[in-house]
Amino acid sequence: MKFAMLYVLIFPMVILGFSGWSAVAPYGVSSLNNNGPHGLSEILYAYASTAGNNGSAFAGLNGNTPWFNISLGLNMLIAGS
């Protein structure tokens, strides 16, 4: 049962971990066109959609940076397995 709960909790931990890291790191925030709550929701949605193997993002987030390419790929790899 403990392993089942660990499996269920990996999905939100990975999404929130990468989202929080991107929200405070200068290389993550520099890709935003919108600051404030909308920028946070753009980051959160990008990681949530890649964890579900969808890969979409809001239009205000420039996801074509080295940070987002690597972190979104790791997010998809960790949460998708």
Would you state the structure tokens that stand for residue 4, as one six-digit string? 């089942």
Place of tokens 């920028």: 39
Q: Where are the domains of the chain?
A: 14-21+35-53+62-81
Task: Show pLDDT as tens, one digit a residue, over the chain (81 residues).
Answer: 888 888 889 889 999 999 999 999 999 999 888 888 998 999 999 999 999 888 787 888 888 899 999 999 999 999 876
Closest of 59, 35, 57 to residue 71, by C-alpha: 57
pLDDT at 14: 93
Give ∠ CA 28-32-35 in degrees, rounded to 5: 110
